[in-house]
Structure 1
Amino acid sequence: MQRLLAYFKNNKKKTIVLFLILVAYYFCLPKHLFKDPTATVITSNKNELLGAIIADDGQWRFPENDSVPDKFKTCIIAFEDEYFYNHPGFNPISIFKALKENINSGEIKRGGSTITQQVIRLSRKGKQRTYWEKFKEIILATRLEFRHKKDEILALYASHAPFGGNVVGLDAASWRYFNRNSEDLSWAESATLAVLPNAPSLIYPGKNQLQLLKKRNRLLKKLLDNQTIDSLTYRLSISEGLPQKPYPLPQIAPHLLQTIAKNNKGQRIKTSVNKRLQQQTNTIVFNHYNTLKQNEIYNISVLILDVKTRKVLTYVGNAPTDKNHQNSVDIINKPRSTGSILKPFLYAAMLDAGDILPNTLVADVPTQFGDYSPENFNKEFDGAVPAKQALSRSLNVPAVIMLKDFGLDRFHYYLKNLHLKDIRFNANHYGLSLVLGGAESNLWDLCKSYAAFSSTINHFNETSSEYFSNEFCEPTFYEDEKIDFGKKSNEKTLFDAASIYLTYESLKEVNRPEGDDNWEFFDNSKQIAWKTGTSYGFRDAWAIGTTKDYVVGVWVGNADGEGRPGLVGVQTAAPILFDVFDLLPNSQWFQKPFDEMEKVKICLTSGYRASVNCNNVDEKYIQKSGLKTKACPYHKLIHLDKTESFQVNSSCENINEIKNTSWFILPPLMAYYYKDKHPFYKPLPAFREDCINSKKETMEFIYPKDIKKIFLPKDFNEKTNDLILKVTHSKPNTKLYWYLDHIFLGETTTIHNMSIRPKEGKYTITVTDEFGNEIKKTIEISQ
């Protein structure tokens, strides 16, 4: 050491020069050898290619791969650089032989470059092949050997070597020429690609096939001679043909590729997509598309989420339609009218708030809210229907009545907390139509909400009855991303587990349209909570279903918003939903979250908590918040005579002869429609004629109910149609007397309908019964 220091001291100039040379040598190699644009590549959760977008310079150049398949590694070393693992970046013997041959021939015939040198030459593209450039390559190659391991250098070569045409790199070449991953190439295929970088023009179809075949077979013979392959493998390999044309790269999830490319351009992204499930779903979509396009319905999107990991398993952004029908549009994240798909959220919110129980009777009668008059899909009314059934049958009128009772602003608040980003306006902008499709949302947000609901029940049962603070999180399509569900808490995140569970119990029922007796899509062996939706004008059809493990969402329609007859959720989207669920493993049904439930006595007729007057009672588990609901208001104690034919009181019957009986009594308007669907509904008996009735008889308008302005339609002969007035009375066979602005119109008994044809103007309709009760309605007639 002292001698070395003394030498440096005595030879300062030489030392400085040497130091500068070493510094120059150290920094002579750029930090990044290759700056070429690369293709955007996505793979499945098992690293299977799903699709790629060509690089900006028009080259199929995949992002660098840090590994090289063993077969190709063996072939390329045997063909290009047998001493690759032994030399320092250049091979003096090869250089000497090449120099001698070139001098003798008077031109450059042989390069003698190692793989390391070829990496340098590839990175310094456009340089002439001169001896000076060769010298610089040698210097840079040795520096590269200091910086990288041998296998890393080999990986750089495999990623950037030319393979003919616009194909660069082994990964792209494997797919373009053999339609498979480089790890799956045979010996013959690996040998074919190994000889190409040396003469990439040989790959052009129809040209140089014999020359390429000879080079490949010579390499295979070399592998046989050095005992890398056996004689059988050799014979089978040389019998394989050469690629005749480039294959198109797989496009298994093209719309997901577009989405990922926005933020990950030029990168290789490992997604959470299950390739086999994606391909099977693509086939289902293709088959349904071929049927639906006969009705000029051209677009379909499907999303499958794993509830436990919140990862995307399948992403079908659109049907395999054409450019004229927006085949490039990714529908999954596009806002569309929701139809009835938000109804479960209202039902869950009302359960959670303790406003209803699952079978609480909800009014289903003609209803008018200002200028808004909701209608059921079948144009009929049930009078009263259990809330659970109203949801499973997707009845519109009960949903709007429930929303009115719950509060529009209150429901809007919950939707905002579900992070439905397309609900951008305040509650008044949407009005009561919010629950029937007055708002827009997208398949991604809706599926993530259902997944959060399912996960809430799962987590609650898997933990000590706890909730996670970040339950309503964004799903991911990145395989390496792990969802953080947040901290555990005894406080619910949004809805309690029992309310969600009871909502799903309702959604297990088939919500088919009335009259559709040939339902063929529901498989009773699969327990799925599912909901359909159809937007106004038949523009959007939805179907979203969930099990304990998976959420499947389907949208069907036209990307341009054109409506089509028959574009109904239960007819177009639901069949796709259940075809997709058939691909998924069966799941056990959700466990009942007992810690959020109480067993109470329920009136089986009304669905309310049983009152002392209820005579048909059973114990049921309800959500704890349901304890706040009132007792049954429809069962009342009445007094009958011994025959139970008439009501009586102490004014006409001995108290000892009066029979006290519980009676199910609905309000007149609800009863008017309810009795048509429930033949065993018994109206309240009349008072016996000799009794003094202290109770006032009641009646109510059926039509017009809340309407103030009425437009009289005309028939095909331009004749104005009659206006039919309807009233219901609590006591059957009562005579009613009708007046229009104090002008007597007539009387009715039993069926209280009155036909009039007034001129334009304002009128007051007055109806009185034989007991002196009176109701009035002021209307304005327009024609």
Structure 2
Amino acid sequence: MKNKLIAFSQRLINWIKKNKIKSAIAFLLLLIYYFSLSRTLFQEPYSTVIESKEGELLGAKIAGDGQWRFPAQDSVPDKFKKCIVYFEDEYFYKHPGFNPVAMVNAIRQNRKAGKVVRGGSTLTQQVIRLSRKGKGRTYFEKIIELILATRLELGYSKNEILELYAAHAPFGGNVVGLEMAAWRYFGVQSNQLSWAESATLAVLPNAPSLIYPGKNQIRLLQKRNRLLLKLNHEGIIDKQTYELSIDEPLPQKPYNLPQIAPHLLERVAKNEEGTRVKTTLDFTLQNRVNQIAKYYYNQYRQNEVSNLAILVIDVQNRNVISYVGNAPTDGDHQKDVDIIDAPRSTGSILKPLLYAAMLDDGELLPNTLVADVPTQIAGYTPQNFNLTFDGAVPAHRALSRSLNIPAVLMLQDFGVNKFYEELQKFQLSDIDKSPDHYGLSLILGGAESNLWDLCRTYSNLSSTVNYFNKSHGKYRTKEFTELNYKNDFQPDFGSESEQKNILGAGSIWLTYNAMEEVNRPEGDEAWKFYDSSLKIAWKTGTSFGNRDAWAIGTNSRYVVGIWVGNATGEGRPTLTGVTSAAPILFDVFNLLPRQRWFGIPYEDLNEVEVCSQSGHLAKEGCPKIKQWVTKKGKTTTVCPYHKTVHLDQTGQFQVNSSCESVENIVTKNWFILPPVMAWYYKSKHIEYLPLPPFKEDCIGTQTVAMDFIYPKTNSKIYLTKDFNSEVQPVIFKIAYAQREKQLFWYVDHVYKGVTKVFHEKSIIMSAGFHYVTVVDESGNEISRKVEIVRE
């Protein structure tokens, strides 16, 4: 055999040498033949198609030319394959691209009939004809099709040719391709078609006008049934299958395509138009979340709230498993806007990030008391949502209750610039202005962000804790990665490292513990007492003017993000994170499998003794409890609020050696807050005891003289007006011996400000009886009742 090949090769070389011109022409023809077929047969645009991770159709967007043309599938269903071959081209698997016998028979029959009654084209030729649409049906064109068909057979397998045909054959109207036809006429995927349905679609490309509902039904039925009979005779289907198939009805009213994730579809179309994307969405979960979105939309629209968004993330791989970009509203209420990407005012949703950053930096402990008092900073006056003050509140409670004033004071201590840089590490893309632009309002909704970025942030934080515990104290270099909606994407989390990414696992875990204490929505107030209660770390947010309601929650496996509001930015008085977004959050979490709480990251925590009253590191004399803190938490300040005082035997008076014998003096550590904090704190904590006064005969410790200069006891003050008829403030005056000390002013238990050196205070008053109270830095106070009369 080898010798024969060598001999043939030698003869061929000799022939080429003797016939150079003929050889050149033959080579040129071969070259033309080889390049005659375009690398891309079909240039038409395709529909954008998205599927769930299970392969279920979630939605599709029509192609740019107005045709419903799905991208080619990797395989053609076996039923349709057999139907189309037996109907169009029985010798498909045997011929080289054309069938000369069929062509001759077709020419004879057409000449005899005087018109075209039969075609002789193979499926391969039909693929070429479809790719050369618009070309005339001439004999010359037939010759070109024949040549290209043989070239197609050389470059493609039979199955690939069938795939091209199935993807580009016309099926009536603007329906192109088997996959779209299966959905349009039968409402199922092509691999779910029955024999009768497959046969119906197999005969359609031959005469696509037959499909129009109510027309040509008899002709279409006859063609389908003849094909089914042929399949029965050829042994492809048995007699029972044949008899059942011919009883199946023909398609009538066209089916609408599923639109289960329309906003994700638009997102995919924007980035990858004309492709088929198998997403990470869970088909069942997406449908159930859609039902929740519809239910709450119908509830909220009665209060003129028209939009909402829901995003669910699998923490393990950052996969998006449910994506609801907007409520099922209408065009007048921006139904096509994808809220998940829209920048909206953050409200309080960034507070956990500040809390975690301060824990991580060793500037705070979970129980550290934070001031909650009337505050004015450079003209900025934050207010708590309920317009009340606690005086002082543990930091974790300030977070769980979402108190605004403690958050602002914490941000002031941490630094706006520093926190801004922290947020940039999380890649919150909409926080793109300078720190000075936001100022302290950054923590109360002065900045904007979007649901995608925020859910990504919490997913990465949750995964940090999970991996740290799993790896016994290690991090991953690329833990903070992007969310993903493509099913075939494998995230790269980098390599193991001793170094944290942004926040340590300990600070994240402590933050989540604080967030887990957040008050639940109405109807679930007793959640703490249920053994099976849903344990998640979550935070709500409400923007200024009640324009945006947020809720974001996480457990060790999932993150759920909710936004509710109006896409137009119109606020509604009843719209808040707790009342509007949180109920949706818990309903979605109830759809998800229950998860264990985050494991304790012991390697990133220290157990220390803290003062049970102040939350600071305990010093000698403080009542102590043990608590987990971050590694840097050991460097925070010791308790500044416990002071040593000397009392008499009764404990009712402070004393010193000038008024009490040393052996009778009782030494005690006393919890003392600064005056303004103490003023509000004692109203919430009946156990808080002010310092006892000194005995009158103690030398050098007499109570500092402090009295009202104006007004006098039981005074009646008449309000005056200026030349513009505006009511003028009342000016109160205090005589105080220690001019360098500060005095704190209150009207009816409401803080009005502070004075120093010159103790005069202008206060706008309303008509009626009021109590004016002044407190010095040592906690001494005086009060006066006045009557304000309007002239």
TM-score (norm 1): 0.89
Q: Retained in 1: the 8 A contact 2:696–2:702?
A: no
Aligned to 2:665: 658
Q: Retained in 2: the 8 A contact 1:64–1:159?
A: yes
**1:80-119 equivalent positions in 2, closer than 5 A:** 80-119=88-127
Does 1:269 find its partner at 2:277?
yes
Q: Retained in 1: the 8 A contact 2:334–2:567?
A: yes
Unaligned runs of 5+ in 2: 1-7, 709-718, 737-742, 746-758, 767-771, 783-791
Cα pair distance change 1:369/1:754, threshold 3 Å: closer
Q: Which of residues 331, 336, 343 in structure 2 aligns to 1:328?
A: 336
Cα shift at 1:153:
0.5
Aligned to 2:399: 391
Q: Which of residues 500, 509, 521 in structure 1 aligns to 2:508?
A: 500
2-side partners of 1:381 and 1:699: how far apart? 26
TM-score (norm 2): 0.88
After alignment, is 348-357 or 63-72 more displaced? 63-72
Q: CA RMSD in A?
A: 3.1
Q: Retained in 1: the 8 A contact 2:674–2:777?
A: no
Q: Which of residues 115, 140, 160 in structure 1 aligns to 2:168?
A: 160
Q: Retained in 2: the 8 A contact 1:341–1:533?
A: yes
Q: Retained in 1: the 8 A contact 2:675–2:779?
A: no
Cα shift at 1:358:
0.3
1-side partners of 2:720 and 2:384: how far apart? 21
Does 1:491 find its partner at 2:496?
no
1-side partners of 2:592 and 2:610: how far apart? 37
Cα shift at 1:162:
0.5
Cα pair distance change 1:517/1:680, threshold 3 Å: farther
Cα shift at 1:370:
2.1
Aligned to 2:627: 620
- Which amino acid is 2:646 matched to? H
Cα shift at 1:757:
6.4
After alignment, is 9-18 or 88-97 more displaced? 9-18
Cα pair distance change 1:245/1:487, threshold 3 Å: same
Aligned to 1:460: 468
- Which amino acid is 2:642 matched to? H
Cα shift at 1:525:
1.7
Aligned to 1:644: 651
- Which amino acid is 1:638 matched to? V
Cα shift at 1:694:
3.7
The alignment partner of 1:357 has SS state of: coil
**1:521-600 equivalent positions in 2, closer than 5 A:** 525-600=533-608
1-side partners of 2:328 and 2:68: how far apart? 24
Cα shift at 1:470:
2.1
2-side partners of 1:633 and 1:481: how far apart? 53
Cα pair distance change 1:758/1:268, threshold 3 Å: closer
1-side partners of 2:406 and 2:26: how far apart? 90
Cα shift at 1:774:
11
Does 1:151 find its partner at 2:159?
yes
- Which amino acid is 1:220 matched to? L
Cα shift at 1:108:
2.2
Q: Retained in 2: the 8 A contact 1:95–1:111?
A: yes
Cα shift at 1:40:
1.2
Q: Which of residues 502, 509, 526 in structure 1 aligns to 2:517?
A: 509
Cα shift at 1:662:
1.8
**1:471-486 equivalent positions in 2, closer than 5 A:** 471-486=479-494
Q: Retained in 2: the 8 A contact 1:540–1:556?
A: yes
2-side partners of 1:316 and 1:636: how far apart? 56
Q: Retained in 2: the 8 A contact 1:52–1:257?
A: yes
Cα shift at 1:699:
9.3
- Which amino acid is 2:588 matched to? V
Q: Which of residues 233, 236, 241 in structure 2 aligns to 1:233?
A: 241
2-side partners of 1:546 and 1:274: how far apart? 18
After alignment, is 281-290 or 257-266 more displaced? 257-266
Does 1:669 find its partner at 2:672?
no
The alignment partner of 1:541 has SS state of: strand
Cα pair distance change 1:737/1:65, threshold 3 Å: closer
The alignment partner of 2:59 has SS state of: strand
2-side partners of 1:30 and 1:205: how far apart? 38
Aligned to 1:450: 458
1-side partners of 2:554 and 2:201: how far apart? 47
Aligned to 2:295: 287
- Which amino acid is 1:494 matched to? I
Does 1:249 find its partner at 2:261?
no
The alignment partner of 2:309 has SS state of: strand
Cα shift at 1:404:
1.0
Cα shift at 1:547:
0.8
Q: Which of residues 185, 188, 204 in structure 1 aligns to 2:196?
A: 188
2-side partners of 1:196 and 1:621: how far apart? 72
Cα pair distance change 1:534/1:700, threshold 3 Å: farther
2-side partners of 1:192 and 1:699: how far apart? 100
Aligned to 1:733: none
**1:704-743 equivalent positions in 2, closer than 5 A:** 720=727
Q: Retained in 2: the 8 A contact 1:39–1:267?
A: yes
**1:658-697 equivalent positions in 2, closer than 5 A:** 658-694=665-701
2-side partners of 1:16 and 1:504: how far apart? 79
2-side partners of 1:273 and 1:341: how far apart? 26
Aligned to 1:370: 378
- Which amino acid is 2:254 matched to? P
After alignment, is 449-458 or 388-397 more displaced? 449-458
- Same amino acid, percent of matched pairs: 59
Aligned to 1:70: 78
1-side partners of 2:382 and 2:778: how far apart? 34
Q: Which of residues 79, 92, 97 in structure 1 aligns to 2:87?
A: 79
Cα pair distance change 1:39/1:209, threshold 3 Å: same
After alignment, is 536-545 or 479-488 more displaced? 479-488
Question: What do the CA deviations read for 1:725-782 (whole angstroms, capped 9, x no partner)?
Answer: 799x9xxxxxx999xxxxxxxxxxxxx99997699xxxxx99798999999xxxxxxx
